[in-house]
Amino acid sequence: MPKSRTSSSADNPRHNRLLAALPEADYERLLPNLQQVSLPLGTVMYESGGTLGYVYFPTDSIVSLLYVMEDGASAEIAITGYEGLVGISLFMGGETTPSRAVVQSAGYAYRLKAAFLKKEFDIGGALQHLALRFTQALITQMAQTAVCNRHHAVEQQLCRWLLMSVDRLPSNELIMTQELIANMLGVRREGVTEAAGRLQKAGLIEYSRGRIVVVDREKLEVRVCECYAVVKKEYDRLLV
Amino acid sequence: MPKSRTSSSADNPRHNRLLAALPEADYERLLPNLQQVSLPLGTVMYESGGTLGYVYFPTDSIVSLLYVMEDGASAEIAITGYEGLVGISLFMGGETTPSRAVVQSAGYAYRLKAAFLKKEFDIGGALQHLALRFTQALITQMAQTAVCNRHHAVEQQLCRWLLMSVDRLPSNELIMTQELIANMLGVRREGVTEAAGRLQKAGLIEYSRGRIVVVDREKLEVRVCECYAVVKKEYDRLLV
DNA sequence: GGCCCTGTGTGCGCTGGCGTACAGAGAGTG
DNA sequence: CACTCTCTGTACGCCAGCGCACACAGGGCC
């Protein structure tokens, strides 16, 4: 998938918001250990219970944390993009989590060896501080997902999902079939088709065969449930 | 509510699993700063966005973390008892969270001034280690709640809720009306009545006017969804 | 004992999402 | 160009949970 790389926003570690927030000295220490990797759509970064060798700092990719149940049904728990990192269990002390991380939007990330990260984290400096604040933001996102799953209609959840994804992308276009969105939201594909059809008719989005363009962000923000704003506000508050 | 105190399991800080896991030296340092407090049913420990002056280590009380929406609807995000602490946002760096903490089962807890906790946490010793592992367990619980809200029926969620509560209590009796349980689960009161009626008919529980007794734990574990076991396993793994 | 208040049981009709099934429509391939 | 595969549209019956309304029942209080 990685066609001839063009120099883009993905090519600088500082395009990850956490790395960007590090003081120069800490950043310099990390830099030689950061390794850019390409993340094709669908890559499974870790499996439920599996150990993770690296933490990943996405630049222009988006990663979904999702839980797959015994019967195969799934639900997204949270997503992470350039504003965060993948692999919190490494520094939280548990090493693994009972969830799966999948690349939801292809792109690049910088990775850091688990052992190196732990060492840096234990120094107790800026990296620890940032990582913990990010984790709290992630917690808010998960909590809000729980609430949203309980109380809100599929259409609203789709709006939330679209907005959260677009927020993490350089353009307003996502490569994603309705089938996959349905998996993420933990609903039927047909439910997504209907909701997306309504949104398209109302002129908020345009889509065709696995490609969705958000054409009217403002209107999307009107239709979405409160959950989107709550999470966004908390991310803005906690991450710089 | 606190009738004449009898010396019970609540009267020793070490009955909180996190405090119990501290090495002697760290514990001795904390002890003079630990203050026992009584937590009557319904006490709001913090409000969404409100700052918290203390972290609480429950001994025989249970605290619900719940989110209240704009229209008044609510949903429980997680619960914490003797195995954990209330107030993770203090050491995670955010100071507040957009949720509410309410005492779900009356009892006692030991509290520690926020400033003191932060100082101890920043030392990077056993307390930090334990607090972070607990936080990861809490994250698992929240993630699983999100999944459970999406896919499982009210009856199964009720089973999960009952088991999780009983696990954190010294007896198998809970003081809790169906109305309150419905608030926690974010469902209708009638839905709880029906599910509870079925469970009673099947001989798993007995209840009357705000008092529920779990009489057959094993059968409850058969009826519950997988979510309960996933979370329990993760707690056992992460907390000692 | 009679009263009231709180908690529980039950019965509607409604609707959103589910499971299933199948038809059409892009887009790439030979 | 025909072929196939993937993605999207639509329809139908089904059921869990919702909102509402009201009846009953235990238990404390005067």
Residues A208-231 have pLDDT tens digits of 899 999 999 999 999 999 999 999
pLDDT at A11 over 90: no
Q: Which helix (H) or strand (E) holds A3?
A: none
Q: What is the pLDDT of residue A3?
A: 39
Instruction: List bases, strand C, within 7 Å of protein CB.
Output: 6-11, 16-21, 26-27
The residue in chain B having the minimum alpha-carbon distance to the alpha carbon of residue A132 is: B92
Name the residue among B70, B88, B93 with its Cβ closest to that of A226.
B70
Tokens found for residue A130: 């940032």
Beta bridge partners of A102: A44, A64
Contacts of A136 in chain B (CB under 8 A): 88-89, 92-94, 97
**Nearest one of B155, B136, B116, B98 to B32, comparing CA atoms:** B116
Q: What is the DSSP string of B181-229?
A: HHHHHTS-HHHHHHHHHHHHHTTSEEE-SSEEEE--HHHHHHHS-HHHH
Over residues A150-159, mean pLDDT: 96
CB A226 within 8 A of CB B70: yes
Confidence check: pLDDT of A7 > 60: no
Nearest in space to B87 (alpha carbons), one of B47, B60, B124, B123: B47
**Between the CA of B165 and the C1' of D28, what is the distance in angstroms?**
28
Note the pTM of the prediction, 2 decimals: 0.94
Q: How many residues does chain A have?
A: 240
The Å distance, CA of B153 to C1' of C12, is 22
What single-letter amino acid sits at A191?
G
Residue of A95, A186, A230, A72 lying closest to B143 (CA atoms): A186
Distance CA B9, CA A93 (A): 29
Digitized pLDDT (tens) for each residue of chain B, 240 residues in all:
343 344 466 789 999 999 999 999 999 999 999 999 999 999 999 999 898 999 999 999 999 999 999 888 999 999 999 999 999 999 999 899 999 999 999 999 999 999 999 999 999 999 999 999 999 999 999 999 999 999 999 999 999 999 999 999 999 999 999 999 999 999 999 999 999 999 999 999 999 899 999 999 999 999 999 999 999 999 999 997
CA angle A17/A20/A22 to nearest 5° reads 120
CB contact under 8 A, B147 and A186: yes
CA B90 to chain centroid:
18
**Which residues from chain B sit within 8 angstroms of residue A230, using beta carbons?**
98
Residues from A in contact with B at Cβ < 8 Å: 65, 67, 69-70, 73, 75, 77-78, 88-89, 91-94, 97-99, 122, 124, 129, 132-133, 135-140, 142-147, 149-151, 186, 226, 230, 234, 237-238
Residues 204-223 of B with CB under 7 A from strand D: 208-209
pLDDT digits (tens, 9 = 90+) for A97-138: 999 999 999 999 999 999 999 999 999 999 999 999 999 999
Q: Rounded CA gap, B146 and A146, in Å?
A: 4
CA end-to-end distance (rounded Å), chain B: 33
A196 CB below 7 A from strand D atoms: yes
Question: Which chain A residue has its CA at the smallest distance from B229's CA?
Answer: A98
Tens-place pLDDT, residues B122-180: 999 999 999 999 999 999 999 999 999 999 999 999 999 999 999 999 999 999 999 99
**pLDDT value at position B3?**
38
Res A145: pLDDT: 96
A210 CA from C28 C1′ (Å): 14
Q: Which residue does chain B place closest to A139, by CA atoms?
A: B139
Shortest distance between the Cα of A150 and any Cα of chain B, in A, equals: 5
Identify the pLDDT of residue B145: 96
DSSP code string of A186-222: TS-HHHHHHHHHHHHHTTSEEE-SSEEEE--HHHHHH
Of residues A77, A93, A122, nearest to B143 (C-beta): A77
What is the structure's pLDDT at B2?
Answer: 40
Interchain proximity A75–B132, CB inside 8 Å: no
Write down the residue that tokens 């003079």 correspond to: B32
Half-sphere exposure (CA, 13 Å, Cβ side) for A125?
A: 16
Q: What pLDDT is stored for residue A5 in this prediction?
A: 46
pLDDT reading at A8 higher than 80: no
What residues of A are in contact with residue B142 (Cβ under 8 Å)? 139, 142-143, 146
Give the span between the Cα atoms of B104 and B125, in whole angstroms.
31
Which residues of chain A does B149 touch, with a Cβ-Cβ cutoff of 8 Å? 146-147, 149-150
User: Cα A213 to the chain's mean position, in Å?
Assistant: 18
Protein residue nearest nucleotide C11, by CA to C1': B190
* Cβ-based burial of A149 (10 A; exposed 0-12, middle 13-18, buried ≥19): buried
Which tens digits make up the pLDDT trace of A63-85? 999 999 988 899 999 999 999 99
Question: Per-residue pLDDT averaged across A139-160, rounded?
Answer: 96
Say whether pLDDT at A161 is over 50. yes
Query: Beta carbon of A221 within 7 Å of strand D?
Result: no
Task: Please tell me the predicted confidence (pLDDT) of residue B202.
Answer: 93
Beta bridge partners of A35: A111
Contact A73, A137 (CB under 8 A): no
A65 CA to D3 C1', in Å? 38
> In whole angstroms, what is the distance from residue B187 CA to residue A120 CA?
45
What is the reported pLDDT for B8?
64
Residues ≥6 apart with Cβ < 8 Å to B160: B148, B152, B224, B225, B227, B228
Residue B101 tokens, joined = 């903490």
Write out pLDDT tens, residues A15-62.
999 999 999 999 999 999 999 999 999 999 999 989 899 999 999 999
Asked if A74 and A186 count as a contact pair (C-beta separation under 8 A), the reply is yes
Residue of chain A nearest B154, judged by CA positions:
A150
Report helix, strand and coil shares of chain A as percent, to nearest 5: 50, 20, 30
Rg (CA), chain A: 18
Token pair listed for A30: 């990390």
CA distance B66 to B75: 6
